[in-house]
Amino acid sequence: MKLEHPLTIALTKGRILKETLPLLAEVGIAPQEDLDSSRKLIVATTVPNIVW
């Protein structure tokens, strides 16, 4: 999928993120870094043009 602008998935850290990670992994979207040790607000994913 080629997007003109990045798609941003907005998630809060905590329970909602932990419950959503397996669902995103099923469709091939995963963070490129360890979310537990990162303080970044915008995180790149394994899919180009999709961030959260």
User: Residue 7 carries which DSSP code?
Assistant: E
- Mean pLDDT, range 14-35, rounded to an integer: 94
Structure confidence at residue 3 (pLDDT)? 67
| Tokens encoding 39 | 């303080």
pLDDT (0 to 100) of residue 1: 59
- Provide the pLDDT for residue 35: 87
Confidence category of residue 2, pLDDT binned at 50, 70, 90: low
- How high does pLDDT run on average in the chain? 90
Q: Give the pLDDT confidence score for residue 8 in this predicted structure.
A: 93
Instruction: State the alpha helices, DSSP H only, in the chain.
Output: 15-26
Residues in CB range of 35: below 8 A, 6 or more apart = 13, 17, 43
